[in-house]
A and B are shown apart, each in its own frame.
Chain A
Amino acid sequence: MLYLLVFAQAHADFRIPELQSVSELYGFHIGLLENADPSRPFMVVELEEEMYARLLARRCILVKAVCEFYARGATYDEVHERNRACRSQWERYVPDTSFKFVVSAYNHSIPQRRQRDVVESFSYMDFLGKIDMKSPEITMVVHEEYDDKHGTTREKHEGDGAFREVFFGRLIEEGSARPLMKKFDVKKRVFYGNTSMEAEISLLMANQTLASPGKLIYDPFVGTGSMTYTTAHFGAMVFGSDIDGRQMRGREKRPGIIRAAAQYGVDQRIVDLCTFDVTRNPWRCGGLFDAIITDPPYGVRAGAKRLGRKNRRAKDEDESRSRPFQPSERPDDQPYIPPTRPYELSALASDLVLLARYMLKPGGRLVFFLPTVTEEYAELDLQTFLCEGMEVVANSLQDFGSWGRRLITIRKATTQQFPPPAFDPDKNVLSESDLTHVPAHKDFRQKYFEGFKKGKLGD
């Protein structure tokens, strides 16, 4: 059966990955048509049962509505001809079902008068039930899709009828996951920081992890916990760690992440928060997590740090090496803060994939953001951090112009066990001499602050 999906006007690149993740989560197949174009707001897909369409409406953040699909066409004549041909699909509503028609447009507003004309043009369907505008048993929807006229000056209804395509179907369910964006609005959260992830993206990320009850999920750069709330909302148990405990705690005695989680009623699903550097982690064994979800710090608002000193050679000459640290050397009210050094992004990305291969269960997913320079990005960039047994499931761009960030979803496609990554601070840093391809995310921080000028690097 064919179903019509109506998307929210946002994050077009994330639409298909989200549909596929949700269908995988619930174990059904979603058939994409050959001409499926995720940049358009309407998409016709194949599903075995109406229930699956409802599941999409209830879980996909980017789905505004799902409909039973009847017809599409470049003109209303085409639509009516095809709609007549699929009479068997809507025939059962003819005798005594209350109904209403809704005529709407994307990128345009249709004058009321023509809306009425459009409804009238479907009169051959001969629905005998009463028209009920308030609570009809069925709602028939007509969507006209117009090209984006953004930036042009025009009369309100100018170009009316010059649509790209019309879609017609019966509304099954409005999307009920999208309102979660309001619930998780960062501004209404009791605890957040300047690097907190916006609600919509946190929800999309949670969907990419296939979060659901019974699962255990880990964020190794948990920060202020943005993604823990959304994954926990979908039922998963969540661990968080961060090199900077202050980020997780906030100012009050009760840790900030726990306070915010309590606001959403999921504080008991935050298993624990720990302070440690993920490159020096205390995990007893691998294969623990169903998913790893994280927004690694990439140096624009918060720099990535790892334990160690900036200049390792200097450290060898440092006296402190031969003289072990004595806790008594510092006053008791000053907790010891070990030195940290910057963590270059391309090294961080490949370490993260190796860590995920070790820490994930077979079939588990790694979901993370990778900032990248739009002009320099190439498909090949992903190859620089992939390793045996890990495969890319999705790669969606959030475009900010000269730079963007890519939400990368990687699956552990092996049951083989791998050792924990070495996190060798010297060996892991990609240098241009030992790489045939330099990814656009390498030295991202430096490129960002140089305004992405070409040829500036390495000066």
Chain B
Amino acid sequence: MVRLITHNLLACHVKGCTSNNFPLQFKDVQIELREAEFNPDFLRNFMPRIEWKALVDAARQLGDTSLPEEQPEMVDDEFLQKLHHVLLEVHVEEGAMVCPNCNHSYPISNGIPNMLLAEHEIG
């Protein structure tokens, strides 16, 4: 699956890779859109945790330009619907997430990202 909500929470965690290690860049992705139940409470609770620019950029990389550049102060239902779609309905099924700093590639297979590190990366 790797939804954009997850992508927004994962940073590269290779030992020593502590700056410019977020957001990870999608590579060679296969996307599926799947409808999810709309839950405004969940979205409101989660909003303070979002790194907005990372979310907007990731959405655009995947071809969705519905979100505004800046996180709006006024949260209306129309905005929540867009946010819901971007956060929860876009699924990256295959491909990889690549660290912009150290280039570590985290492969995604059948919707499950492999975030395991190799032996030399954990120190």
CB of A282 within 8 A of CB of B110, answer no
Judge whether B115 is part of the interface by a CB distance below 8 angstroms: yes
What count of chain B residues pass the 8 Å CB interface test?
A: 37
CB of A248 within 8 A of CB of B41, answer no
Contacts of B12 in A (CB 8 A): 282
Name the contact of A254 in the complex, choosing from B41, B110, B114, B122 (C-beta under 8 A).
Answer: B110
CB of B116 within 8 A of CB of A277, answer yes
Judge whether B117 is part of the interface by a CB distance below 8 angstroms: yes
Contacts of A216 in B (CB 8 A): 42, 45-46
Judge whether B64 is part of the interface by a CB distance below 8 angstroms: no
Name the contact of A280 in the complex, choosing from B9, B45, B49, B122 (C-beta under 8 A).
Answer: B122
Among residues of B, the one whose C-beta sits closest to the C-beta of A244 is B116
Among residues of B, the one whose C-beta sits closest to the C-beta of A283 is B9
Contacts of A282 in B (CB 8 A): 10-13, 115
Q: Which of B1-54 contact A (CB under 8 A)?
A: 1-3, 5-6, 8-13, 22, 34-37, 39, 41-42, 44-46, 49, 51
CB of A288 within 8 A of CB of B45, answer no
Contacts of B11 in A (CB 8 A): 282-284
CB of B49 within 8 A of CB of A288, answer yes
Judge whether B74 is part of the interface by a CB distance below 8 angstroms: no
Q: What is the distance, in angstroms, from A453's C-beta to the closest C-beta of chain B?
A: 37
Name the contact of B42 in the complex, choosing from A213, A335, A339 (C-beta under 8 A).
Answer: A213
Q: Which of A112-167 contact B (CB under 8 A)?
A: none
Contacts of A255 in B (CB 8 A): 110-112
Contacts of B122 in A (CB 8 A): 280, 307-308, 338
Known contacts A271-B5, A284-B11, A284-B51: A336-B39 contact under CB 8 Å:
no
Contacts of A215 in B (CB 8 A): 42, 45
What count of chain A residues pass the 8 Å CB interface test?
A: 45
Q: What is the distance, in angstroms, from A243's C-beta to the closest C-beta of chain B?
A: 7
Q: What is the distance, in angstroms, from A322's C-beta to the closest C-beta of chain B?
A: 9
Provide the bound-state CA to CA distance between A268 and B42, in Å.
13
Contacts of A336 in B (CB 8 A): 118
CB of B110 within 8 A of CB of A321, answer no
CB of B6 within 8 A of CB of A307, answer no
Q: What is the distance, in angstroms, from B112's C-beta to the closest C-beta of chain A?
A: 5
Provide the bound-state CA to CA distance between A290 and B35, in Å.
24
CB of B9 within 8 A of CB of A325, answer no
Judge whether A455 is part of the interface by a CB distance below 8 angstroms: no
Query: Residue-by-residue, is A323-339 near B (CB-CB < 8 Å gives 1, otherwise 0)?
Result: 01100000000011011
Among residues of A, the one whose C-beta sits closest to the C-beta of B115 is A276
Q: What is the distance, in angstroms, from A119's C-beta to the closest C-beta of chain B?
A: 48
Judge whether A73 is part of the interface by a CB distance below 8 angstroms: no
Judge whether A272 is part of the interface by a CB distance below 8 angstroms: yes
Judge whether B95 is part of the interface by a CB distance below 8 angstroms: no
CB of B9 within 8 A of CB of A284, answer yes
CB of A271 within 8 A of CB of B13, answer no
Contacts of B117 in A (CB 8 A): 276-277, 280, 307, 338
CB of B119 within 8 A of CB of A274, answer no
Provide the bound-state CA to CA distance between A335 and B113, in Å.
13
CB of A214 within 8 A of CB of B10, answer no
Contacts of B5 in A (CB 8 A): 271-272
Judge whether A389 is part of the interface by a CB distance below 8 angstroms: no
Provide the bound-state CA to CA distance between A245 and B112, in Å.
8
CB of B3 within 8 A of CB of A339, answer no
CB of B112 within 8 A of CB of A249, answer yes
Provide the bound-state CA to CA distance between A243 and B118, in Å.
12
Judge whether A188 is part of the interface by a CB distance below 8 angstroms: no
Contacts of B42 in A (CB 8 A): 213-216, 237
CB of A273 within 8 A of CB of B112, answer yes
Name the contact of B120 in the complex, choosing from A239, A254, A269, A320 (C-beta under 8 A).
Answer: A320
CB of A248 within 8 A of CB of B112, answer yes
Provide the bound-state CA to CA distance between A245 and B115, in Å.
10
CB of B115 within 8 A of CB of A274, answer yes
Provide the bound-state CA to CA distance between A288 and B10, in Å.
12
Contacts of B114 in A (CB 8 A): 245, 275-276, 335
Q: What is the distance, in angstroms, from B108's C-beta to the closest C-beta of chain A?
A: 10
Q: What is the distance, in angstroms, from A314's C-beta to the closest C-beta of chain B?
A: 12
Provide the bound-state CA to CA distance between A213 and B51, in Å.
23
Q: What is the distance, in angstroms, from B24's C-beta to the closest C-beta of chain A?
A: 9
CB of B112 within 8 A of CB of A283, answer no
Contacts of A254 in B (CB 8 A): 110
6 example contacts (A-B, Cβ-Cβ < 8 A) are as follows A245-B114, A274-B10, A285-B9, A307-B116, A307-B122, A338-B118
Binding site for A on B (CB under 8 A): 1-3, 5-6, 8-13, 22, 34-37, 39, 41-42, 44-46, 49, 51, 88, 110-120, 122
